[in-house]
């Protein structure tokens, strides 16, 4: 209850701060929407030259993209740790974090959250509804529950991978380009894995399981029975990867020696 109370207090203060500059907030939301629109147009351009992509129709690809946007929006809203190495380790702000009476990772999540990113999730749901209508998909009574479970699993997969990458900073405080590169690799998860070769498919499933953020859970709602096993594996992969990341993070904190020489 203490952590929940702290969370909502941070949210309240964040909203007060952002609403102080409403124009900037609106521009950021609009920019995010335009970025998603460009990716959507890219899919349309691709299917302007072909009717199928490795057995997937245009509407199915659009549905997968829409699903991907929901966990991605939640991740970017609460796990904005792309500059953890430079800001917290090199500049020494992690020393301040360790003086607070809550878990260090939770503290960083709270002070780096960007709630305006949640609008991307609404866009994703709208895209899914559009694609679902075009595909004439039926909404079953258990679909909303599984949707929430799969989304949470996808968020945990994302969070687990990027927290693990952030943990490298505890052992090496040198600047690294791994984080931006990983953000680019994560985009592969928004497309069906069977359009890639076997090596990339294996990596996106078991090493950097970004496929569990988009195509695998979305395939359940598209009634792709051959992918059902992977769809239901999504929350398990999320719990495993995020659990490992917490363990590694705690070990990294123990090794942290401050920002001095």
Chain-centroid distance, C-alpha 89: 23
**What is the spatial distance between Cα 135 and Cα 157, in angstroms, rounded to a whole number?**
28
Residue with tokens 């904190």: 253
**CA–CA separation, 27 vs 68, rounded Å?**
23
Q: Are 210 and 188 in contact (CB under 8 A)?
A: yes
pLDDT in tens, the chain (261 residues): 788 888 888 888 878 887 777 777 777 777 777 777 777 776 677 666 666 777 888 889 889 989 999 999 999 999 988 888 888 888 888 998 988 888 999 999 998 888 888 888 888 898 899 999 999 998 899 999 999 999 999 999 999 999 999 998 888 766 766 887 888 888 787 888 888 889 999 999 999 999 999 999 999 999 998 999 999 999 999 999 999 999 999 999 998 887 655
Which residue reads 């509804």 in tokens? 129
> In 3-state terms, what secondary structure has residue 202?
helix
């Amino acid at each position: 209850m203490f952590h929940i109370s702290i969370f909502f207090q941070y949210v309240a203060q964040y909203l007060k701060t952002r609403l102080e500059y409403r124009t900037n907030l609106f521009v950021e939301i609009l920019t995010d929407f335009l970025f998603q629109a460009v990716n959507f147009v890219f899919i349309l351009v691709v299917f302007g030259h072909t009717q199928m992509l490795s057995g997937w129709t245009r509407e199915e690809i659009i549905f997968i993209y829409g699903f991907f946007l929901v966990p991605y929006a939640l991740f970017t809203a609460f796990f904005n740790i792309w500059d953890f190495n430079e800001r917290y380790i090199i500049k020494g702000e992690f020393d301040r974090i360790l003086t607070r009476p809550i878990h260090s990772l939770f503290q960083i999540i709270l002070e780096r959250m960007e709630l305006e990113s949640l609008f991307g999730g609404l866009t994703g749901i709208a895209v899914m509804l559009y694609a679902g209508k075009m595909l004439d998909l039926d909404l079953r009574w258990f679909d909303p529950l599984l949707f929430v479970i799969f989304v949470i699993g996808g968020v945990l997969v994302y969070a687990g991978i990027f927290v693990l990458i952030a943990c490298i900073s505890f052992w090496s405080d040198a600047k690294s380009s791994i984080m931006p590169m990983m953000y680019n690799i994560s985009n592969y998860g928004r497309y069906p894995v069977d359009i890639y070769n076997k090596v990339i498919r294996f990596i996106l499933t078991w090493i950097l399981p970004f496929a569990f953020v988009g195509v695998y859970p979305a395939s359940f709602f598209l009634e792709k029975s051959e992918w059902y096993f992977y769809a239901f594996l999504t929350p398990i992969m999320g719990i495993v990867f995020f659990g490992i990341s917490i363990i590694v993070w705690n070990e990294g904190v123990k090794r942290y020696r401050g920002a001095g020489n």
